[in-house]
Amino acid sequence: MVRSPYELSTPADVLAGLHPRLRTYFGAVPPGHVGRGTGVFDVVGTPRRWLWPVLAWFARDAVMFPVWEHDVPFTVENRPVRVGRGRGADGHVAVRAHRTFRFRTGDRTMVDAITAGPDGLVDHLGRRGRVSARLRAEVDAGALRLVSTHVSFRALGREWCLPAVIAPRVTLVERFDDDAGLQRVSLALRAPFVGTLYRYEGAFRYSVVPEGGR
């Protein structure tokens, strides 16, 4: 039986509280299929331009981008994969997401892969997965809330853990809007003493279809 990272790492009674339409999004993508969504982000990025040089560095690995734009069309594609950290690492069940933003300056794609780790969900950010965030999953009124509890990065051949006192926190909320028939998503990256570093929020329609189909 194929199971998604969310199903492997989150208690069944927690996932049972999800809105039925969200169970498709967080459930397993069958082999030969892809999850596709299309929508619009109300906002993406940060108006704090002094952060843009840092975001430009993250943009090189498709993590975040130095922008502050409104009404940004986007697409998302979720595919089942197996990933590992480091050479020779065993592959873990994962879902890799490609979110393509249609910015005024051109298209940019954000990449991440969610895996089921021993201590819960782990999100490996960027094409090379050098930055990772361990996530705690909560269900509230049918919505899924993911909060980072641990952030690390890989450099010089080893894993470095950021102390909680300085580690940024990611909060992601996914919910389904029955009135609009849309899935709504909001993400905020905040740091102690600084506040919000980066965010996006918007709505989209999503379905799982055969690979190569529309």
- Per cent of the chain over pLDDT 70 is 94
* pLDDT value at residue 87: 40
Domain ranges of the chain: 5-207
The answer to whether 111 and 127 are in contact (CB under 8 A) is yes
pLDDT confidence bin for 214, thresholds 50/70/90: low
pLDDT in tens, 2-51: 789 999 988 888 889 999 999 999 999 988 899 999 999 999 999 999 99
How far apart CA 81 and CA 130 sit, in angstroms, is 17
More confidently predicted of 184 and 129:
184
pLDDT winner (highest mean) among 72-81, 88-97, 125-134: 72-81
Residue among 142, 141, 200 at smallest CA distance from 170: 200
Residues written for the chain = 214
* pLDDT value at residue 174: 97
Q: Which CATH architecture has domain 5-207?
A: Beta Barrel (2.40)
Q: pTM for the full model?
A: 0.89
pLDDT confidence bin for 86, thresholds 50/70/90: very low
Q: Specify the amino acid at residue 57.
A: W
